[in-house]
Structure 1
Amino acid sequence: MKITNGLKTIAVAATVAMIAAGCGSGGGGGTAEGAKVIRFAFAPDPVWDLMKQAGTIQKWEQENNVRIETSTTWDEFTYFAGGHGDIVSMATQETPVLEAETKIKTVTFGKYNYQRVPLYRRAGDPYKTLADIPKGSKICVSGPTSNTGFWTLAAKRMHNLDYRVGGGDFNLVVNDHFVNPTNLLRGDCEAAAIIPEAAVPQMRKGELEIMYDGKLPFQLYQEFAPSNDGQLHVSGNNFVATEKWFDANQDLAVKFLELWQSGVEMWKQQKAETVKKFPQHFSVETDEDIAYITEFVSGDKDWFVDNVFLKEDWIKVETEIWDLMKGLHPDNHNFLAADAPKPRFVALTPSN
């Protein structure tokens, strides 16, 4: 497993900046002096904002005498890679990469949402899958890990293609999720991996279309996964703690999951209201956009889990993705060596 000195430098610098920005930015107020602190990094998230506005986080902090200090970032990997923080949200395929590169031991103890970043084409373009895109073409992506790791596997398993940043069969160009819809439309790339929330206006207007028959990654994964247990896989965001923190705070980890379970249930009951309250998370500009994305996430494309607690049978199938990663090109950021770490996944039991 390789990591460049430049990536290490970026990771440490990003960590310092995010910790400074994140201090004191949790639910806020009401905890007693001497309260425990959870340092938590995650991507901008509507459910967190929904719980914060409703007072759910503040109430939880008061009841448990805990303060959550948050750092908001699209790149949780670099935050944790610096060796700081207690909990991050991270994809299943990222955890062994993190452990291999940083030697940080982790414990994944909950799940939050599934891999949801599909590949887009311009309306009218003939690309149904990656196999239809000429080799050497530019594809806009958000980074070398996370959803790129999923598409690395899909490309290999479904088409025997080498899909990676810095080499392979395509020229993967890294840009922000919310910039990539414009990049794709103006022809800067032939396809783009974009978080659905960043492409709502373009989808609604029919300017951009999701490839692979409109499937999101967690729907597509079933077509090349080693096992199919009838459950949804693979996760784009799990709750991942350092092993040191988890082993010392297992009861608190349960309570942390219970907080997020209440948030997920709020989302399931208030999807339209959540989009309207926090349009910044869905790149919506009009009432038509709000209606479009609300309908989009109301069927089988809702990427939020029903239950954040892990089950042993789910863990067994979920972590099979690591075996697929061992068959990738060794220069790939998502490659795993035969002796790569197998991070702990723990099924906790709710307290109520």
Structure 2
Amino acid sequence: MHLTRRLRLTALGTTVAVLALAGCGGDGAGTSGDGDTKVIRFAFAPDPVWDLMDDAGVIKKWERENNVRIETSTTWDEFTYFAGGHGDIVSMSTQETPVLEAETGIKTVTFGKYNYQRVPLLRRAGDSYETLADIPKGSKICVSGPTSNTAFWTVLAKEMHGLDYRVGGGDFQLVVNDHFVNPTNLLRGDCAAAAVIPEAAVPQLRKGQLEIMYGGKLPFQLYDEFAPKRDGKLHVLGNNFTATEKWFDANQDLAVKFLELWQVGIEMWKKSKATTVTKYPQHFSVESKEDIEFMTEFVNGANDWFVDSPFLESQEWIDSEQAIWEIMKNLNPGNANYLAADAPTPRFVALTPRG
């Protein structure tokens, strides 16, 4: 479920929900001492879908069938992998990809998707704020960082309300704290609203102490209300699978197989949400039986932020997903989420599953 990570782009830092992957440097996946066995170095934050596959033996089976070994380790900083030349695949949001290319000069290819941007704005129960436009200018809003989900709300604020929403300026005072601290900060009145991953506020949401603004919608459910290009599909992604261009061009067949592995895991999640939340409560930040039941119900409908398939659907889908970059170019240049007019346009490639 990837509760936090850090993306360090020179002076730009953020904490976001993430999945981080890393592979060997060079022209392709590395080879081990076992003949021609390819190795993918896989640096991964704790995730329920990965655990489902691992416990069921799916990963080992995939490795045997494809003569690939996945070496796992833990990282919260995918920038280091790319900048240091040691990583092949990472996971990042659509909004972050052009920033990464601009800051590092490394060309990337986004070839898969994993989960949607899901961080909603919360209010205290009884408060009248339904949208950002209802919150008095100058009010404090608790956020997790200057980019990531804040970048989404920056775009929405401008497009839907004509507001300047950013850390260090704009129409509100955005106060940065950890996701798991912000529900308490909101309840005690330290801020008028807070952007918090759902998992971090389960007890407060279950008890009715906090409520989701914008009619209970999550970011990916709101994107279509202001996006300049609409294809009728869900957008925008909080976690994509992104590779260096060098690795992708040399390993496109392996990229397809990699997504096929994740397709199996996603289908396992879709079929066993209640069992997964119960078996891996640590991934959903739930402890009590009541919290487990609440989270299971929350992700059992339209709020499920996992994609149905990790394969990018079509060029039309890609165009709609990338449309957010044009909005970012029209933001205040002082905004951490502003994109210059000549910012890179990263490649997104729609692959096709085998057979």
Place the TM-score, normalised by the shorter chain, in its bin.
Answer: 0.7 to 0.9
**Letter paired with 1:306:** D
Tell me which residue corresponds to 1:3. Answer: none
Matched residues in 2 for 1:236 and 1:172: separation?
21
Tell me which residue corresponds to 2:146. Answer: 144
Matched residues in 2 for 1:339 and 1:70: separation?
37
Task: Please state which structure has a larger fraction of its residues in helix.
Answer: 1
Tell me which residue corresponds to 2:90. Answer: 88
Deviation per CA, 1:280-322, whole angstroms, max 9, x where unpaired? 1111122121111111111111111111111222112111111
How far is the alpha carbon of 1:95 from its aligned partner? Answer: 0.5
Tell me which residue corresponds to 2:28. Answer: none
Matched residues in 1 for 2:144 and 2:202: separation?
17
Matched residues in 2 for 1:103 and 1:214: separation?
39
Deviation per CA, 1:237-284, whole angstroms, max 9, x where unpaired? 110011111111111101110011001000000000000011011111
| Contact 1:329–1:335 (CA under 8 A) maintained in structure 2 | yes
How far is the alpha carbon of 1:67 from its aligned partner? Answer: 2.7
How far is the alpha carbon of 1:7 from its aligned partner? Answer: 5.5
| Contact 1:42–1:89 (CA under 8 A) maintained in structure 2 | no
Tell me which residue corresponds to 1:296. Answer: 298
Gaps of 5+ in 1: 1-5, 12-17, 21-29
Tell me which residue corresponds to 1:122. Answer: 124
How far is the alpha carbon of 1:146 from its aligned partner? Answer: 1.4
| Contact 2:229–2:319 (CA under 8 A) maintained in structure 1 | no
How far is the alpha carbon of 1:198 from its aligned partner? Answer: 1.4
Matched residues in 1 for 2:119 and 2:248: separation?
29
Cα distance change on mapping 1:100 and 1:77 into 2, 3 Å: same
Asked if 1:313 corresponds to 2:302, the answer is no
Deviation per CA, 1:202-228, whole angstroms, max 9, x where unpaired? 111111110111000011111101122
| Contact 1:122–1:191 (CA under 8 A) maintained in structure 2 | yes
| Contact 1:87–1:241 (CA under 8 A) maintained in structure 2 | yes
**Letter paired with 1:273:** T
| Contact 1:106–1:344 (CA under 8 A) maintained in structure 2 | yes
| Residue identity (%) | 78
How far is the alpha carbon of 1:135 from its aligned partner? Answer: 2.1
Secondary structure at the counterpart of residue 8 of structure 1? coil
**Letter paired with 1:111:** K
Asked if 1:338 corresponds to 2:328, the answer is no
Equivalent residue pairs, number: 332
Cα distance change on mapping 1:295 and 1:315 into 2, 3 Å: same
**Letter paired with 1:340:** A
Matched residues in 1 for 2:166 and 2:178: separation?
17
Secondary structure at the counterpart of residue 140 of structure 1? strand
Identify the match of residue 57 of structure 1 among 51, 56, 59.
59
Tell me which residue corresponds to 1:48. Answer: 50
Q: CA RMSD in A?
A: 2.4
How far is the alpha carbon of 1:75 from its aligned partner? Answer: 5.7
**Letter paired with 1:316:** D
Tell me which residue corresponds to 2:226. Answer: 224
Tell me which residue corresponds to 1:275. Answer: 277
| Contact 1:43–1:76 (CA under 8 A) maintained in structure 2 | no
Which has the larger displacement, 320-329 or 47-56?
Answer: 47-56
How far is the alpha carbon of 1:123 from its aligned partner? Answer: 1.1
How far is the alpha carbon of 1:40 from its aligned partner? Answer: 3.6
How far is the alpha carbon of 1:42 from its aligned partner? Answer: 4.9
Tell me which residue corresponds to 2:25. Answer: none
Deviation per CA, 1:112-161, whole angstroms, max 9, x where unpaired? 11111101111112211111222222222222221111011001111111
Tell me which residue corresponds to 2:354. Answer: 351
| Contact 1:41–1:85 (CA under 8 A) maintained in structure 2 | no
Tell me which residue corresponds to 1:171. Answer: 173
Secondary structure at the counterpart of residue 268 of structure 1? helix
Tell me which residue corresponds to 1:323. Answer: 326
Tell me which residue corresponds to 1:244. Answer: 246
| Contact 1:88–1:241 (CA under 8 A) maintained in structure 2 | yes
Tell me which residue corresponds to 1:69. Answer: 71
Matched residues in 2 for 1:31 and 1:177: separation?
43
Tell me which residue corresponds to 2:137. Answer: 135
How far is the alpha carbon of 1:187 from its aligned partner? Answer: 2.2
Tell me which residue corresponds to 1:255. Answer: 257
